[in-house]
Structure 1
């Protein structure tokens, strides 16, 4: 049986500070790279709010945001057990790493004021009955989508990459599709759900696509094709607004960026930097291919769903679907192929060494999902899994 959050914050019915799917990156994203350097990249991360002693989920986002001294980088999500952060747009990877650590620290500092902590876990391991945020949009989402909305307590990592215009954006979206499943495999951080091991390394990827507009997408062909599809989807009256176009990657509705949404929130800040750097390199590589007249891979959406399923099932610990052949291959082979695919873009941005090192680190120590399972094997306690993920928790994997 699911349990409600231990503490629910007081709510002013007129409160409009809580939002859903509002990009937080600053609105001065530049587009294509030029004299000023590589494309801009910014990261939004969603976190769970938990009791730092018991690990229980705490529905306190509204009061947290009211009491935070400076909540400029923070906002609420669909459920009050969540908090979202957003970096400023960065061109330098070291700057992005600083920004991710700064926004994570800001979230933790704000949480401490309310007596809670932030947990970088993509699903909540224990039973919980989430508490919708007190705004009209959240109310309407839960009302329209029923159990899908009531149960939705997952945390993702969204990467924004600057583009010149919608034409360039859609050219990139069409060409990065084959590589989104390997990105998911690198980020998997959600093996537990409702008190049980799901058998998946990234169960968020099974929960999230219950929204009718979520998951892998087909090639759009052009900016006009993208607009036509999204207009038709919105015209069905099923979705509340354009913010619910939950493709694994999309044109941002608020910024001159493409937004890649496939990754779990990463347990380690360095893994979020890795995902963001690979995303930027994928977008840059895709735009270069488009300019050179290279067509997008015509792979069907149905195949991409299978590739995504395999990535979510085992992360980097078993075979993935290789975009070069659309056949199974060892995860290391697929990730090496991904690195080779974006090598020129990484080198031109000065990111190749940093990305190669971070990729080796993930393959050596494992993903967030592997860490969660190691803690559970050692303790038999899902509360320990939650507490281990907290900023003040033990971080020595050798202990497990």
Structure 2
């Protein structure tokens, strides 16, 4: 059974005002002192108002869910010790001037990309799924491309930007597209072609190194995994478990198609960008582009098509019925974008939205 790991980037906020606070370095330092098992769970990120943590790889989805909850609670505990709070929000609802971290890499990015770097206070969720080889990994990336916009729609959790409703369910994903290497990819066909494309991108000097190849799905530099990078951090801790479950199903389904000689879908990058844009705009509350037909289709129909697509793989791992129940629950409750907007309608205050999201983050 393929293992799965999740990385989440979480927002650091003032518990009273909801304003983002640049305290990641202090939290990472406290966590290092308290690190009993010797594993570095927490890391600084591009901006000092964000904190990253990673789960251990898991083969059981319930265990993965417990890991996510544990990481969130630990982040909240360390933050609370220095008068801070954590919120699983993919953008700050309140106005903010992000602080770029002092790391040499981040300073290079600030100089290279200017305002695009300084506006990148966006927080995502990355899913790593184990693969047997680079050959299998590239074959998987080629075949899962049309379905990644559906994963994005499930995760949407960033409707507000600088105190304003953007009209998007995931504005994070639109800000993320400002990086020159971000977005969907062509069909590579082989690991050799994948490495050739990556090397040619690095050789331009526009990006610093392979770590800045921000494909929607890529081969991990450090682990034998495919890394899926399209999701917002999700408000409720059960949603990343569902996304990880579906991601593992997509990887396994794509690998089986590859072994059976099924070619990748022929959708070009231009159409895949449209599908990603529509997912960011609508989330689960309007239409999405169906990954097979690339025609506008009600979001619940498209989400159920994804479930059908990976059903055999999920049945084999024992995850199918749980995934169906979680999908039904998510469609009824809505993603984080819907929740944030409902909170604003009820309270009339973005500060109250942040306060309630802090509470829900730790549920």
2-side partners of 1:216 and 1:393: how far apart? 30
In structure 2, the residue matched to 1:33 is none
1-side partners of 2:17 and 2:359: how far apart? 15
Structure 2 stretches lacking a partner, 5+ long: none
Alignment counterpart, residue 55 of structure 1, candidates 10, 14, 18: 18
Report whether the alignment pairs 1:283 with 2:251.
Answer: yes
2-side partners of 1:252 and 1:149: how far apart? 23
- The SS at the match of 2:256 is helix
Report whether the alignment pairs 1:41 with 2:4.
Answer: yes
Tell me the alpha carbon deviations over residues 136-186 of structure 1, each in whole angstroms, 9 at most, x when there is no partner: 111111111100111110000000000111101000000000000010000
- Aligned pairs (5 A) from 1:49-88: 49-68=12-31, 69-70=34-35, 72-88=40-56
Alignment counterpart, residue 299 of structure 2, candidates 331, 350, 361: 331
In structure 2, the residue matched to 1:24 is none
- The SS at the match of 1:389 is helix
- Aligned pairs (5 A) from 1:308-323: 308-323=276-291
Taking structure 1 as reference, are residues 394 and 165 closer, same or farther at Cα in structure 2, changes over 3 Å only?
closer
1-side partners of 2:55 and 2:273: how far apart? 30
- The SS at the match of 2:110 is helix
Q: Report the Cα offset of residue 393 of structure 1.
A: 7.9
In structure 1, the residue matched to 2:66 is 98
1-side partners of 2:90 and 2:135: how far apart? 32
Q: Report the Cα offset of residue 392 of structure 1.
A: 6.5
Give the structure with the larger helix fraction: 2
Alignment counterpart, residue 162 of structure 2, candidates 161, 175, 194: 194
Q: Report the Cα offset of residue 217 of structure 1.
A: 1.2
Structure 1 stretches lacking a partner, 5+ long: 1-37, 396-400
2-side partners of 1:234 and 1:259: how far apart? 19
Report whether the alignment pairs 1:354 with 2:317.
Answer: no
- The SS at the match of 2:293 is coil
1-side partners of 2:335 and 2:205: how far apart? 39
TM-score, scaled to structure 2: 0.97
- The SS at the match of 1:391 is helix
1-side partners of 2:292 and 2:21: how far apart? 45
Tell me the alpha carbon deviations over residues 90-141 of structure 1, each in whole angstroms, 9 at most, x when there is no partner: 0011111111111111111111111111100001111111011121111111
2-side partners of 1:391 and 1:289: how far apart? 42
Is the Cα contact below 8 Å between 2:21 and 2:84 reproduced in 1?
yes
- Aligned pairs (5 A) from 1:379-394: 379-391=347-359
Over 6 Å off, 4+ runs? 392-395
Q: Report the Cα offset of residue 380 of structure 1.
A: 1.7
- After superposition, the CA RMSD in angstroms is 1.2
Is the Cα contact below 8 Å between 1:321 and 1:329 reproduced in 2?
yes
2-side partners of 1:217 and 1:190: how far apart? 24
Q: Report the Cα offset of residue 67 of structure 1.
A: 2.1
Is the Cα contact below 8 Å between 2:235 and 2:360 reproduced in 1?
no
2-side partners of 1:113 and 1:247: how far apart? 36
In structure 1, the residue matched to 2:242 is 274
Q: Report the Cα offset of residue 257 of structure 1.
A: 0.3
Is the Cα contact below 8 Å between 1:88 and 1:99 reproduced in 2?
yes
